[in-house]
Amino acid sequence: MSTPDTSMKKVLVRSLITIVIVFVAAWSFNLFYEGNKTRLLKKFDTDAEANSALKPFHLEHFKANLDCGACHEGGVQHEQPLKKTKEAVCFTCHDKIRQAQAVPANDDCKACHTKQVKRK
């Protein structure tokens, strides 16, 4: 084999190895990122349930590709407390998707509420 052919093969092998390394690194980062986000959302759910009469569903809403601002007015702002979601916000969205997906009915209070809530 001539020197130019050997040199070209080395370049191709190095390029292939580089592509594989970049792919594995990107895949690993994605797994790490998604795993951390899942753990964080589960922690949000645990903390929110301890301080509320509602069962939070952060992870389910994240999996449905909703961002925080879809439920929380103003979205998430660094180190700012989130405004609690109003029931009407839940109903508005759930009424729209009820025909296509299984979501709790508006009169199924125990699906979301963990404690008796007095109506005004």
Task: Let me know: does 94 contact 106? Beta carbons within 8 Å.
Answer: yes
User: Would you state the pLDDT for residue 77?
Assistant: 64
Domain hosting 80: range is 3-111
Would 119 be classed as within a structural domain?
A: no
Length of the chain: 120
Would 116 be classed as within a structural domain?
A: no
Handedness of CA 86, 92, 97, 99 (dihedral sign): positive
Would 36 be classed as within a structural domain?
A: yes
Q: How far apart are CA 75 and CA 82, in angstroms?
A: 7
Would 117 be classed as within a structural domain?
A: no
pLDDT tens readout for residues 70-80 = 887 766 665 56
The count of domains in the chain is: 1
pLDDT tens readout for residues 14-27 = 999 999 999 888 88
